[in-house]
Amino acid sequence: TFLDDAEVVVSRLIIVSNRLPVSLDGDAERGFSLRQNVGGLATAIGPYHKVHRDCLWVGWSGIDLDKYDAEQIRSIREAYARRRCVPLFLAHDEVAGYYSGFSNDTLWPLFHDFSHEAVFEPSTWGMYQHVNRLFAQALEPLVHEGDTVWIQDYHLMLLPQMLRERFPRLPMGWFLHVPFPSPEIYRSLPWNRELLDGVLGADLIGFHTVDYARNFLSSVELLLHIRADDEGRIPMTTDRYATVDAFPIGIDYDLYKRTARSTLAKAMKRGIEEVSGKRPGRRYATSLTAESNAVAEAITKEGTWWSHYAHEELPELTLARSAAAEYKPNKVVVSVDRLDYTKGLPERLKAFGRMLEKYPEWTGHVTYYLLATPSRENVDTYRHLKEQVDQLVGQINGRFSLLSWTPIHYITRSLPIKPVCGIYAAGDVALVTPLRDGMNLVAKEYLACHDGRDGSLVLSDMCGAANELTEAFIVNPYDTEAMCEALHSALEISPAESRRRNIAMQARIKARTAAQWSATFLDALGQVTNEGLADRRLR
């Protein structure tokens, strides 16, 4: 054939990130299996990797190397290989310094404008350099002629330049999934220049928003004294530019829309509606009315045990009154997050508590399903946050609960996509109120699960998604009173008005899916590398 003497070049995409799309479940005896990871990166790129057979994903295995013997590591590798993933194994002190330390105790807070939480520690910086080097070494034998490498996120900011030294002509992209802070904040990092030099090894450097891209360019100008041209191109060598641009990430809209209609999600939704008394005439609603009637009756009798407290307005009494008044359908509020201090969970809980206090007519009538999975538990800030959230939920439930109604259902497990979509679908209101967030996919997932339906989104103005989802109830997540009011209005909005707002936002999310995001980034990468060089041989 005509290929007989030709060199066959199979071009592949190699995705490199700290977190792989799946992580290990099970043990040596029961056998190892893999489960989907939680987090924006895995959600956004996972579907691309699944359908593109020419795509390989390299990342940290997420397990402690010290805990497994050689035979076990071999079977773990095989399980990953079946999913076209190459796991890297790190020792305990490498994980502590590079992941828990520099990535999540230095860069994460700094990039999310929590500079007061950022720890500047030379030893974790040393480990970060070391592990980025380990990634480069692991990639060296994997990268072939014709491949493209796409590096993800703040864990691997040194890797682009380390790979560039090995492969001067390798087409390479880097994307940041979190905000890039203003130069005034960024410059406080003692190793600010080293990280910029590291990232500039890539041909294309992507951010979620134009603002983050601008912050990056200003930092390069301030700290490295290199100025980009009007097209965001930073001259690196005589024949190479590093180009900076914004690529807002999306979700697989149809997947969420479809999954919300699956049998399991529908069953979950129905369960939530029954428990919260949202379905009129159900057992819970009846027992609530019976409870309030009984209390109202007791209140009217003299000399009952509670008469010491008769000067106080008992919530049961309010409920009895409102039950007698016009029927008010019960409502469900939902949220889905990793337990992360950037997500604004305590602030949100305070606003929910404030709403129950300010609008007591919601007592017994609104139930909040709070799904919050513990994350990065080896970092102190995250452990403290978990304690704070546990306490606040306890306080609110203790203060406002009735005998047969609990205001907050608090779930700290990580759930698979079907039940998550069931929770989204059950929510009359979703509270998505991060203090800072690169994009936030949860807001988009909620809207996809309400395709063609009503359902209100209360959204922080501190996340990338607020640029696109302008019809949501936009709030300042630090303003308790404003959040309380927004939640109240979101609960009261008419279904027609809610649908009208959603249609506009859904159209935008549908037009910018995760698949389009990857395609746009990779097309742009192809373009900038072709423009820069006629000869793209690897070495």
Look at residue 441 and give the partner it binds from ligand ADP, ligand G6P, none, a contact being a CB closer than 5 to 8 Å depending on partner kind.
ligand ADP
- Does 106 engage in binding with ligand G6P (CB under 6 A)? no
Cβ proximity to ligand G6P, 39 vs 464, nearer residue = 39
Instruction: Please answer whether residues 59 and 85 qualify as being in contact, where contact means their C-beta atoms are separated by less than 8 angstroms.
Output: yes
194 phi and psi angles, rounded to 5 deg: -60, -40
- Does 208 engage in binding with ligand G6P (CB under 6 A)? no
User: Interface with ligand ADP by CB under 6 A: which range of 206-214, 223-231, 344-352, 441-449?
Assistant: 441-449
Cβ proximity to ligand G6P, 175 vs 362, nearer residue = 175
CA distances from 510 to 208, 497, 503 (A): 17, 20, 10
Over the Cα atoms of the chain, what is R_g? 26
- Does 112 engage in binding with ligand G6P (CB under 6 A)? no
Q: What is the token pair recorded at 225?
A: 């004294």
Cβ proximity to ligand G6P, 276 vs 375, nearer residue = 375
Strand partners, 125: none
> Diameter of the chain by CA atoms?
102
Rule CB under 6 A: choose which of 72, 287, 373, 388 binds ligand ADP.
373
Counting residues that bind ligand ADP (by CB under 6 A) gives 17
DSSP, collapsed to helix, strand or coil, labels residue 248 as coil
- Closest distance to ligand ADP from the beta carbon of 371 (Å): 5
CA distances from 57 to 3, 50, 88, 125 (A): 29, 10, 11, 25
* Per-residue x/- track, 32-51, ligand ADP (CB under 6 A): ------xxx--x--------
User: Interface with ligand ADP by CB under 6 A: which range of 68-76, 189-197, 214-222, 436-444?
Assistant: 436-444
Cβ proximity to ligand G6P, 377 vs 531, nearer residue = 377
Note the helical H segments in 207-282: 210-224, 253-260, 263-275
Counting residues that bind ligand G6P (by CB under 6 A) gives 9
> In whole angstroms, what is the distance from residue 218 CA to residue 216 CA?
5
Which of 215, 278, 280 shows the shortest CA–CA distance to 244? 215
Cβ proximity to ligand G6P, 47 vs 277, nearer residue = 47
Rule CB under 6 A: choose which of 22, 55, 151, 178 binds ligand G6P.
178
Region 134-173 residues binding ligand G6P, contact defined as CB under 6 A: 153
Look at residue 373 and give the partner it binds from ligand ADP, ligand G6P, none, a contact being a CB closer than 5 to 8 Å depending on partner kind.
ligand ADP
Rule CB under 6 A: choose which of 148, 363, 375, 506 binds ligand G6P.
375
- Does 257 engage in binding with ligand ADP (CB under 6 A)? no
User: Interface with ligand G6P by CB under 6 A: which range of 36-44, 195-203, 274-282, 377-385?
Assistant: 36-44
Strand-pair category, 429-432 with 456-460: parallel
- Does 86 engage in binding with ligand ADP (CB under 6 A)? no
> In whole angstroms, what is the distance from residue 166 CA to residue 156 CA?
16
Look at residue 153 and give the partner it binds from ligand G6P, ligand ADP, none, a contact being a CB closer than 5 to 8 Å depending on partner kind.
ligand G6P
Cβ proximity to ligand G6P, 128 vs 167, nearer residue = 128
| Sign of the dihedral defined by the CA atoms of residues 276, 277, 279, 282, in that order | positive
- Does 19 engage in binding with ligand G6P (CB under 6 A)? yes
Q: Which long-range contacts (CB under 8 A, 24 or more apart) does 224-230 make?
A: 224/193, 224/196, 224/197, 224/200
Rule CB under 6 A: choose which of 316, 337, 347, 468 binds ligand ADP.
337
> In whole angstroms, what is the distance from residue 297 CA to residue 299 CA?
5
CA distances from 518 to 20, 271, 438, 451 (A): 17, 37, 17, 23
* Cβ neighbour number for residue 113 with a 10 Å cutoff: 16
- Closest distance to ligand ADP from the beta carbon of 155 (Å): 13
> In whole angstroms, what is the distance from residue 123 CA to residue 500 CA?
54
- Does 376 engage in binding with ligand G6P (CB under 6 A)? yes
Q: Which residues contact ligand ADP (rule: CB under 6 A)?
A: 38-40, 43, 336-338, 371, 373, 414-415, 420, 439-442, 445
Q: Which residues contact ligand G6P (rule: CB under 6 A)?
A: 19, 39-41, 153, 177-178, 375-376
